[in-house]
């Protein structure tokens, strides 16, 4: 039965969509600006004020996602004009120039991310319905609903989730084009929309550029005879003997029409890509060169030595049911590879999985789970085939009769939703929890993943906790980057750098933590509170952890995440 005609499937879909919306917007105001969000927001509002150079060059990022985020910030009515005085590729001055404005505009700056998080969820669910067609689509939708890492990146200010939205819009149009009649008007419209969507995705995230090549996989398959005919004519024109060996269908008469369409698709892609770059190839080149200079490893092509780490992180963050189905999907993958007569839906999913494997193996940027998410979704669609009526499904493997398969699917889905809700809702809005089976063998990695993730989301809570404790002549030392000073003592950020540079010029080294506590007096304030960080671990910070009892603890998800030491009231352990 088709999905839209299955009343029980529609009821489950409504339940999942309601859960999905709730989990993406719950505790809207809790998560603040992590470190990377500082640059994202500052670079985003820069588009709306005069700069002496292309705004995308201020922090070296593609423009479209920043423009969308910046539009949300501007709705707040805050005056971000100070960003015009920001130094290129420099963050310590951001809290001084626009720090308070960022705090006041935070709900507005978040809104595009939360909206695109919901759009991405809906588009991924629609793609699952289009490819799987019946109730088997509900499992991938349930995964998208409760996936902790998808939820996490649907709630943090970053251009990634915006790129997900454009990518999955492009994949939906690509599927519709692939499944449409050759050279039909419908196919042409869908291919145009595909290349426009992927062009916008590339203008949002550099890693999305791979989808341009991925689109041509389907064009090549669908128009293989036309491509062979064109190749034969070109080789014959240059008098290459190999041309005679190419066998083509003599009935192919639409070469000119096909060629014109393909050229037009490329033009649509280039225009969509370049519009946010102000239709200037020089701006695109500048961003590419700048990004590669900042992150040469991440932006390069080569064997990815960190691929296993990304996959391991993925395994730690899915639940027990997902892990078991993923293991079974290896069998499905092999079956699909060996199957001679594949339907288009199977080919589409298989090509997506092969794209994931290719990018995971050869692009180091996919070591970051947030970059890998749109590629990883292919595994979830593959896992959805386990609940289909295909010969490689779970039902076939366990010899469950056809008339009982739907009943088993809905029973499993009910258990899956109940279990997922019980383990996900208590962890909102951060969504950090380890997989029980994987974490039995990797407890240290799981604990580190959870604490590290919660730590990166704790800046707002920590500084807002300190603000009422501090007297006017007191400040704090929390070396987590300039984003810390957005929430309090905005002038301290730049003075930290100036103090460090002065000490280095005098003694040839940077100051120690005790020296900074004693001698650093930003705006004539004394450092009273010290917070050890992840990024600047040292023997001095270890002394605090080993010898003193923290005066205050910041707890997230019932875990002690941040330790705060009151320098005036230290207590020995």
Tokens of 235: 């080789």
Backbone angles phi, psi at 181, to 5 degrees: -65, 140
Q: Where are the alpha helices (DSSP H) in 147-242?
A: 148-153, 160-178, 185-202, 210-222, 224-237
State the SS3 of 524-566: HCEEEEECCCCCCCCHHHHHHHHHEECCEEEEECCEEEEEEEE
What tens-digit pLDDT sequence spans the chain (573 residues)?
A: 677 788 999 999 999 999 999 999 999 999 999 888 999 999 999 999 999 999 999 998 899 999 999 999 999 999 999 999 999 988 899 999 999 999 999 999 999 999 999 999 999 999 999 999 889 999 999 999 999 999 999 999 999 999 999 999 999 999 999 999 988 999 999 999 999 999 999 999 999 999 999 999 999 999 988 888 887 777 777 666 666 667 777 666 678 888 999 999 999 999 999 999 999 999 999 999 988 888 777 767 788 888 999 999 999 999 999 999 999 999 999 999 999 999 999 999 999 999 999 999 999 999 999 999 999 999 999 999 999 999 999 999 999 998 899 999 999 999 999 999 999 999 999 999 999 999 999 998 999 899 889 998 999 999 999 999 999 999 999 988 888 999 999 999 999 999 999 999 999 988 888 888 899 999 999 999 999 887 656 666 677 778 889 999 999 988 899 999 999 999 888
For residue 243, what pLDDT is reported?
A: 62
DSSP for 79-99 reads: --GGGGGPPTT--TTHHHHHH
In 3-state terms, what secondary structure has residue 229?
helix
- The pairing of beta strand 571-572 with beta strand 552-556: unpaired
pLDDT at residue 543 in the model: 75
Helix (H) or strand (E) run with residue 572 in it = strand 571-572
DSSP 58: T
Q: Which residue has tokens 């669609």?
A: 381
Distance CA 169, CA 120 (A): 8
- CA 84, chain centre distance (Å): 28
Coil, helix or strand at residue 240: coil
pLDDT at 250 (0 to 100): 63
Q: Where are the alpha helices (DSSP H) in 238-280?
A: 255-274
Give the pairing of strands 526-530 and 474-477: parallel
The confidence score (pLDDT) of residue 251 equals: 65
How crowded is residue 83: how many other Cβ atoms within 10 Å of its Cβ?
25
User: Helix, strand, coil: what percent of the chain each, to 5?
Assistant: 70, 5, 25
Q: Which two tokens stand for residue 191?
A: 């291919």
Contact yes or no for 195/226 (Cβ under 8 A): no
> Which residues are CB-neighbours of 384 under 8 A, at least 6 positions away?
128, 131, 132, 136, 137, 139, 140
CA distances from 515 to 280, 485, 499, 563 (A): 50, 20, 11, 20
- The DSSP output letter for 53 is S
Nearest-CA neighbor of 366 among 409, 291, 311, 287?
A: 311
Q: CA 133 from chain center: how many Å?
A: 27
- Residue 82 is predicted with a pLDDT of 95
The predicted structure's pLDDT at residue 241: 67
How many Å is the Cα radius of gyration of the chain?
27
User: Distance (Å, rounded) from C-alpha 73 to C-alpha 297?
Assistant: 32
DSSP labels, 162-178: HHHHHHHHHHHHHHHHH
């Amino acid at each position: 039965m088709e999905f839209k005609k299955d009343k029980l499937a529609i009821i489950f879909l409504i339940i999942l969509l309601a859960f999905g919306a709730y989990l993406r917007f719950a505790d809207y105001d809790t998560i603040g600006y992590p470190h990377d969000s500082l640059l994202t927001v500052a670079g985003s509002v820069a588009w709306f004020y005069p700069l002496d150079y292309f705004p995308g060059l201020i922090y070296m990022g593609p423009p479209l996602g920043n423009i969308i985020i910046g539009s949300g910030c501007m709705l707040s009515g805050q005056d971000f004009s100070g960003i015009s005085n920001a130094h290129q590729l420099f963050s310590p001055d951001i809290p001084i120039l626009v720090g308070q404005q960022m705090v006041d505009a935070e709900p507005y700056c978040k809104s595009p991310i939360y909206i695109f998080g919901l759009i991405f969820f809906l588009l991924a669910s629609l793609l699952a319905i289009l490819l799987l067609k019946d109730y088997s689509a509900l499992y991938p939708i349930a995964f998208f609903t409760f996936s902790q890492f998808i939820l996490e990146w649907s709630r943090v200010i970053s251009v990634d989730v915006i790129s997900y939205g454009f990518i999955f819009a492009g994949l939906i149009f690509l599927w519709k084009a692939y499944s449409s009649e050759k050279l039909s008007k419908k196919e042409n419209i869908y291919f145009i929309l595909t290349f426009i969507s992927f062009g916008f995705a590339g203008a949002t995230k550099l890693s999305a550029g791979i989808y341009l090549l991925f689109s041509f996989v389907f064009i090549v398959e669908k128009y293989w005879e036309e491509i062979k005919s064109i190749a034969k004519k070109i080789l014959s024109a240059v008098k290459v003997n190999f041309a005679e060996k190419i066998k083509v269908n003599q009935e192919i008469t639409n070469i000119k029409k096909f060629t014109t369409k393909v050229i037009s698709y490329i033009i649509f892609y280039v225009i969509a890509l370049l519009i946010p770059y102000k239709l200037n190839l020089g701006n695109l080149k500048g961003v590419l060169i700048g990004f590669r200079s900042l992150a040469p490893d991440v932006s390069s092509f080569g064997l990815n030595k960190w691929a296993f780490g990304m996959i391991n992180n993925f395994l730690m963050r899915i639940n027990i049911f997902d892990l078991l189905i993923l293991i079974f999907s290896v069998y499905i993958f092999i079956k699909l590879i060996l199957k001679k007569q594949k339907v288009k839906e199977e080919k589409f999913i298989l090509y997506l999985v092969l794209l994931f494997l290719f990018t995971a193996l050869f692009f180091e940027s996919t070591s970051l789970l947030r970059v890998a998410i749109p590629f990883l979704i292919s595994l979830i669609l593959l896992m959805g085939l386990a609940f289909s009526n295909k010969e490689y499904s779970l039902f076939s493997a366990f010899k469950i009769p056809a008339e009982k398969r739907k009943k088993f699917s809905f029973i499993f889905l009910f258990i899956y939703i109940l279990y997922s809700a019980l383990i996900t809702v208590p962890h909102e809005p951060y969504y950090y929890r380890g997989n029980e089976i994987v974490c039995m063998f990797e407890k240290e990695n799981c604990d580190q993943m959870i604490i590290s993730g919660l730590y990166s989301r704790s800046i707002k809570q920590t500084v807002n906790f300190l603000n009422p404790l501090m007297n006017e002549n007191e400040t704090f030392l929390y070396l987590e980057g300039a984003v810390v000073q957005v929430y309090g003592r905005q002038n301290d950020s730049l003075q930290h750098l100036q103090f460090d540079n002065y000490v280095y010029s005098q003694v040839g080294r940077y100051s120690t933590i005790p020296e900074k506590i004693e001698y650093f007096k930003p705006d004539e304030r004394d450092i009273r509170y010290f917070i050890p960080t992840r990024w600047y671990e040292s023997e001095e910070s270890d002394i605090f952890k080993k010898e003193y009892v923290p005066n205050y603890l910041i707890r997230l998800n019932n875990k002690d995440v941040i330790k705060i030491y009151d320098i005036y009231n230290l207590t020995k352990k």
